[in-house]
Amino acid sequence: MLSFFREYKFFAIFLFFLSAIIVTIIYNVLTPKKVLPVYQPTMVNFEMVDSTLQYQSKYHKIADFSLINQNGDTVTQKNYEDKIYVADFFFTTCQTICPIMTDHMAQIQKATLTDEDIMLLSYSVTPEIDDVDQLKRYAIEKGVIDEKWNLVTGDKKQIYELARKSYLAVKTDGNGDEYDMIHTENFMLIDKKRQIRGYYDGTQPEDIEKLLEDIKILKNEG
């Protein structure tokens, strides 16, 4: 009996490993791959969407822009070409949600520091206050790494139209000024095709953890 087992020992080991490989392949085939949604205007709270876009159900992308960062350099979509990035809207003198959001953006910066596919982008909603010098002081204070994270300022109309018509991220405040907005805590995850793939509460630690997990899912999409 012992000689029988010795004779077929290697065959049994081979059969075991073959079975394990087959089970793994079947599991991977039957387990659906996680894919993030592609957000369209019809999928977002209508209060956050410009009236001209509220019925658009496909083809939505982030518009081109040209703004100035904390170093006085021009930043455009070209800087984010073939990148996954996280965007938000803030202002440096905000004392409520902005400090929390900025700290959480710094956390994302640290978590993705060695990943060249990932960048960050923060738009100032008070460009008349947040000039280059002000953004630079803020960037130094918050530990912004220039190659990873742009804080941008510039034409107020352009910034507000991006917020309202591209990122679908803010409400107007109803005071009669077309270019005033109700600031929100939204972080947006943008893919390499300039599509919105996720919305997150930038003040909530659990949302930041989910965002980091979603970045991994997005990278696995290829």
Q: Can you say which residues are annotated as belonging to the binding site?
A: 94, 98, 183
What b-and-e string marks burial along 19-33, b requiring 16 or more CB atoms within 10 Å of the CB? eeeeeeeeeeeeeee
Contact between 28 and 43 under an 8 Å Cβ cutoff? The reply is no
- Secondary structure of the chain in HEC code, one letter for each residue: CHHHHHHHHHHHHHHHHHHHHHHHHHHHHHCCCCCCCCCCHHHCCHHHCCCCCCCCCCCCCCCCCEEECCCCCEEEHHHHCCCEEEEEEECCCCCCCHHHHHHHHHHHHHHCCCCCCEEEEEEECCCCCCCHHHHHHHHHHHCCCCCCEEEEECCHHHHHHHHHHHCCCCEECCCCCCCCEECCCEEEEECCCCCEEEEEECCCHHHHHHHHHHHHHHHHCC
Binding annotation for Cu cation: 94, 98, 183
Task: Using alpha carbons only, give the angle 100, 105, 110 rounded to the nearest 5 degrees.
Answer: 125
